[in-house]
Structure formats: structure tokens, C-alpha cells
Amino acid sequence: MKSQTRVVVIGGGIAGCSTLYHLTQEGWTDVVLVERNELTSGTTWHSAAQVTNFGMNQTMVGLKSHSIELYRELASDPDYPINYHHGDGGIRLANTEAQMDGYRHFASMARGMGVEFEVIDAEECARRHPLISTDNLIGGLWDGQDGDIDPAQLCQALARRARAAGAEVYRNTPVIGLTQHRDHSWTVHTEHGDITCEIVVNACGYRVNELGAMMGVHHPVMSMEHQYLVTEEIPAIREAGHRMPLLRCPISDYYCRQEKYGLLVGFYEQNCKTWGMDGIDPHFVNALCPDDLDRTTDVLEGAFARMPALMDVGIHTVVNGPITYTIDGAPLVGPIPGKRNAFCIIGLRAGLGEGGGHGWLLAQQIVHGEACYDTWCLDPRRFAGHANVELTALKAIEDYQNEFRFHFPNEHRPAGRMAKTTPLTPVLAAEGAAFTVVNGWERAEYFKPAPDFDVTHSFRFDESFDLVAQEIKAVQSAVGLCEVNGFNRFEITGSDAEAFLDRMICGRLPRRFGRVGLAYLLNHHGMLKSEATIARLPATDLGPERFWYGSAAASELHDMDWLTQHLGSDEDVQIRSLTNDQTILVLAGPKSRDVISAVSRADWSAAAFPWLSVRECFIGIAPATVMAVSFSGELAYEIHVPNASLYAAYLALREAGEAHDLRLFGALAVESMRLEKGFLHWKADVLTEFDPFETGLNRFVHMGKPQFIGKAALETRAAQGPSKRLVTLEVGSKAAPAHGGASVMLGDAFVGTVTSGGWGHRVQKNIAYGFVSPDYADSGTELHIDLLGDRVPATVVTSPLYDPEMNLVRT
């Protein structure tokens, strides 16, 4: 066994084997994998191992396409062939039009990744799958690439290729401890000796938190018991003369694929169970949980009704094994939050289908610092401190129960709610707030006219449309108040703070105290990493000279890691998170100056406190830091208040607002207004796949600076010209917004992808942003969007659509 290597991958299931193989493919061959038992002895060996191309965003589709290509190539290797039933085809069923809309959207989205799904009706489903009935069925989504693979052979093939490239695999070598050194390198302690390395990878499957504990972290991953049965032979299958397509059913929560000449049916029962919450037997190896088919009767009945042939056949085998889930159902693949040189590839609930792709994207991140796709949907830093074991269990159960019932836009499920609240949460609830969840925070989405008001979740405009319109009208004509909680906020101090931040951003820092600016942080490839509002505050009795760095709620751990990893050891810079201590009240609208003037003794005139100013003051008796910035495009003030004083500030503003008909507004109104103003959302429109020039952020880049992270790469990219450009589109539909991922078309040719969209109530237009080929980015270009299966006109327009001269914020 080596005592020193570059990377130690811990765990020899599909996650570890794929990572090891892809590290060698990226050129790092001095790498090892250590496995406590035999390869695949965790979950992988008993997987149903279906391999689909279906994913709910482009990164997932792209990584699954990679899996499929890789598995095809491995399966065709004459020296080590593996059983891969590729291309049996698969159907996701639907019995509501809303589900069908979802499939139409996913088909539009997948086209941008070169993947063609078909939306088919019930008769066509039955024609392609001769065993199913069409009762209570509208149709489905056809994935022609669907299939299944032998999981053990797949892992052996990956390990074999990795070994041939120079990697080493140590079986029966449990990792029993981890030590990190001052230079961020690691010693991996195993039962057979120590290995020192630069980087460790946790690929420990359901034992993820045993390894996590060795490095002092808890990963929000929970195991669930998951069962499938395999039937005896079904004569109709042999008679059909072709393999049965796979089925996935959101109506009755099962999947089904052919196994020999029988069927394998897996269940996502409502009466489901977590597994291993209080520790895992060390001897649970190559093992299964006891069968418990009684738990699955609800699902079995649905499966029998859809496939009556199941009623006439015996059960050959039942498999019940642990399967891992995370808070939002997607895996955690990437850097471990708060750690250096440590990565994970964990929480895989569809690891066979996805594992090839996850290992590929992880190896790219380890070797190059970034992957070819934006990997935020997989990033382990997307949940902050609320992601504890109890919340993870609740969300895992909910996600398991809804395995095939995809989330609708603006659908926020009930488990684990109220994880993060402010003193205003119950107050806003009493005012009728419907809440959305942002990084665990309960944030008002809109205000309901009656307690029993609810919306019908769908991909189309819903019943909240008119309510949002009214909230915006109030903001536009008078004044509105909105709580933005959880907004990420760091206080950055120290004699080197200015030089440090200047190096981190590609634009200019506010030069004077009392000023605020928007800034972008690039990675070393010159691509967009983060977006921050940076305010420069003078020394006061509240603290020394300081910068306030504000960014999206979800970016808390991501941005903290990025900033701290770039701090020089000799730099005098302190970064303190205020995220959980402060909340923003946004006061917006032409009367907002009157309201703030009534509750705060300062001079709030445009001359004394112009746009992009910041000052400390009091709102009533509440201490506050106020910024003259506006995401709505109206005259507005962002009032940052310590949570202890939040209610006091709120009461003062509400009271002063009465004279001006102040109304509360929520996140949906903000979303509509920011689209009209051309403002972007981090990780919807601001992605690591594009640089700031492609994203239309030229005014935030100052190439004249001597240095900033990503400058050299950006210069090279700028010389090459853009691959895509972000444009604003006016969409010719009153039925539905354009959802992120939808394809932008010119005739039958794919030319771009929508990043976000919605109705602009002040301009009365359906607005979308999207990245399109530069040839089609000029204003006036007539394109189409594949919107829920319809080709709707989409014209490139000049942004912003509302108050382009920015007069309102300056008045």
C-alpha cells in the first residue's frame, strides 16, 4: 500500500469507482481508492440499476448523458463486457394535465442538452408497453435511452480502467481516522496503515457520516429503506419478442423494469422508514434489511391495477436495502463546506444512473477547480446550518414519498418548515403571508386575501397572479414593505480588507465611505462565481471601518469558503458572518422617502442620501444600516436591522406608512419587478458556465485593474469572443411563464436556453432571460420558445423594460 498519494477516494461503490476512474481521465493518476470491504458491498451491489437520461435541470441531464455514453463504451469493451440493457426506452406516466405540462417542459429543457424526449398519449404508452392498462392515464414522457446495467460489473470495469491508468485500489481497508495538517493536506488512517495525500473524497454511501465524523462535519444525508420485488417469469414478456420499456409512476409511486422474463417492481411507499439514524451495525456488509412488503400495499395496488399481469405471477425475490437522500433529493457532489482539500460524492439516490456523470463532474472540480456545467444543484454548500439530522430525516421521508412527483414551480412542501424564522414570521403569517423557503428561511411569497386561499400548482400562471399585480401596483403608486430574511451578509474588516476585496472582484470597490456598489467575483477560468453588494462603512461606535458584503441567501457557505480560501496567511482581514443576526426590510415606492423620513431623524433627500448610499441610523428606536439600492426599480431603501430590533423597526414603518397606504409585498412581486429591470439572479442567470461579458455585465468589469482573480483567463476569453449572450426576450404567451431551461428556437434549430422568466406587471409583458448564440442576440431578433410544448414567439428586446434611464431611483 502506498504511504503517499495525491487523492484518496474513500468508498468503493459506484460513487468512488467513478470518481477514481474520472480522476485518471482528467490526468491525475497518482490516486488511490480505499474500501472497507469488497467493492460494491454497500448499496451498489443490490441496486435495481436503472439508467435514465431524465433530469429536472440541464446539469442533471448532461451528467446522465455522460453516464450513458460511458456505460455504452464500457459495455462494448470486448476485454471486459458488461451487461447493459441500453435503450429499452422508458415511460414516466401522468394522469393530470399539470404533470403533462411538466413533461413538456422537461422535454424542452433536455433538447438544449442534445437529448430528445417524447411526450406521448395514453394509447401510445400502452402501444409501447404492452402490459399496461390506460385506466386513469393521460400519457407520459418517453426516454429512448432508458435501460439498466449490472452494477457490480460496472464498478469493476471502472476500477479496472482506473488501475490500468495508474490508480490503485485497496480492498478490505477500512478508514478509521482522518487528520488534516496545517498545509491542508491529510493523513488517512486505515486499519493497514496511513496514507498521506493532498485531497480526500468521501464516497462512503450510507456510512457517509461515519467518515464525516472523522473530519468533524455532519452531512445532511439520511438513509431510507427501499424495496423492490422480482417476479417469476411472465409469459407475455417472452411472447412480446422485445424487452419491456421501463415505467416510473408518479400516480402510484413505483418503478418497473424487465428482469430476465419477469418484472422488477420498486416502491416508494408513503409508510416509509429511515434507516441507521442511530448508528449502523459495523457488520452490515453486503447485507439487506428484512423484507417488509406489508408496508407497500398502497403502492402494490396501484402497480397491480396498471399491470394486471402482476396479479398472476409469483414473487421470486424481495430486496430491501438502504438508499441515501438529502434535503432536496439531489446528491451532494463537490467541496465539503468549511473544509479545504476535501470533497464528497454522497447522498446518491440514483447513483447507478447518475454515478458516471457525478464522478466526471467531481473529478473536473478536483483537478480544474470547476466543472464544465454549473454544479450548484449538486453543491454540498447549498444548505446552511439548518440542515441538521432531524430536518434531513423529515425532508428525506417527504422526498421519498414524492420520488416521482416532481416539484411544481413555487411549490414548497410542508416537511421541516419554520427551520429559520425571524420575529416577523408570525406577524407576516397573521397578515396572510404565503411563504416560500430560501435556504431554510421562511420568506413571504405573496399575501393571501383569505386564510383558506391557495393556488393550484402548475407550470402555468396561477391564482396568485392578480394578487401579485396588486402588490406591485401599491409599490409602484405609493409604497410597499417587504421582509428579505436570510440575505447573506459578511462584515469584512482589517487593514488589508480593501486590497483583499479588490483582488476578489473584477470591478471597482466603492471608493468612498457611505457608498454601495454591485460586484462580481470570478473563478480562475474567468467565469462568474459570485455576485455581491458591497457597502463601505466608516468607523463608528458600532465598529471600525468595514465592508459589508451581501449576497444571495443560498450563497452563505459557498461565498464564505471562496473568500476564506483566498485569504493570504499574512493578510490582516477578518470575515464575520452577520447572516443570522440581521434582516432586511425593503421599503419601496415613490412614497418610501416620506415614510422613512417620518421614522428616522436623518436627511433623506436625494441630495443628502443619493442612490447607492449607505448610512447607519435609527428607524424609530431600532438601530439600522440603510442602503439606497433598489431591486424593484422604484425609489427604495434596504433597511438592515438586527433581529432583536426587527419588530420595532417594522412597527415604526407600518405606522408611518399608514398615511401613504403602505402595503406588504412578497418575493413573487420582487421577482416580477426585477425581470422588468434587467436584474439577474445568482445561479439562475449568473452561472459558472459564462463570463461577465457573455452575461452582459461589462459595466461591472474593470480590465484596467492590475489584478483580480480570473483576469488572465477573462482576457483570453474576451479575445475569443462570446459563446453565448444573455438576452431579454418578450414572450408571446399569456398562459405561462418561460421556465428556466426551456429551449429557445429559430425554426427547428436550437439557439439558446431560458434562465428565468415571469410576468412583468408594470410593463404588461411576459419576460424571459436566456443565453442565446451571439448571432441571435441583437434587439429585434424574432425567435421562439418551446413553452410547454407550444412554439411561442420570443423577441429579443432592449433591457431594462421599465424605467431604462433609472430616473425613479434617483429622484
Ligand X SMILES: Cc1cc2nc3c(=O)[nH]c(=O)nc-3n(C[C@H](O)[C@H](O)[C@H](O)COP(=O)(O)OP(=O)(O)OC[C@H]3O[C@@H](n4cnc5c(N)ncnc54)[C@H](O)[C@@H]3O)c2cc1C
Residues that bind ligand X (CB under 6 A): 10-16, 34-37, 41-44, 46-50, 174-175, 203-207, 210-211, 226, 228, 266, 319, 321, 323, 348-353
**Cβ atoms within 10 Å, residue 193:** 12
Residue among 732, 803, 804 at smallest CA distance from 475: 803
Residue 13 or 276 having the CB closest to ligand X: 13
Residue 289 or 567 having the CB closest to ligand X: 289
| Virtual torsion, Cα 697, 699, 700, 706, nearest 10 deg | 120
* Least separation in angstroms between CB 316 and ligand X: 15
Residue 34 or 444 having the CB closest to ligand X: 34
Residue 287 or 542 having the CB closest to ligand X: 287
Rounded CA-CA distance 519/530 in Å is 8
What is the C-alpha end-to-end distance of the chain, expressed in Å? 71
- Which triple of cell numbers denotes residue 369? 477547480
Residue 48 or 91 having the CB closest to ligand X: 48
Residue 140 or 151 having the CB closest to ligand X: 151
* Least separation in angstroms between CB 173 and ligand X: 7
**Cβ atoms within 10 Å, residue 166:** 11
Residue 255 or 604 having the CB closest to ligand X: 255
* Least separation in angstroms between CB 146 and ligand X: 11
State whether the Cα torsion 686-688-689-694 is positive or negative.
positive
* Least separation in angstroms between CB 803 and ligand X: 49
Residue 46 or 489 having the CB closest to ligand X: 46
Rounded CA-CA distance 421/443 in Å is 8
Q: Are 584 and 646 in contact (CB under 8 A)?
A: no
Rounded CA-CA distance 524/380 in Å is 20
Rounded CA-CA distance 368/526 in Å is 13
Residue 11 or 220 having the CB closest to ligand X: 11
Which H or E run contains 665?
none
* Least separation in angstroms between CB 540 and ligand X: 51
Cα-based distances in Å from 132 to 92, 146, 296, 453, 701: 13, 18, 20, 38, 58
* Least separation in angstroms between CB 468 and ligand X: 39
Which residue(s) pair with 530 in the sheet? 521
* Least separation in angstroms between CB 384 and ligand X: 24
* Least separation in angstroms between CB 46 and ligand X: 6
* Least separation in angstroms between CB 49 and ligand X: 5
* Least separation in angstroms between CB 12 and ligand X: 5
| Cα of 658 vs its chain's centroid, Å | 40
Residues with Cβ within 8 Å of 681's Cβ and at least 6 positions away in sequence, in order, are 552, 674, 756
Residue among 223, 200, 210, 524 at smallest CA distance from 362: 200
Rounded CA-CA distance 385/381 in Å is 10
**Cβ atoms within 10 Å, residue 203:** 33
Residue among 562, 557, 564 at smallest CA distance from 579: 557
* Least separation in angstroms between CB 659 and ligand X: 59
Residue 350 or 396 having the CB closest to ligand X: 350
Residue type (1 letter), 236: A
Residue 350 or 652 having the CB closest to ligand X: 350
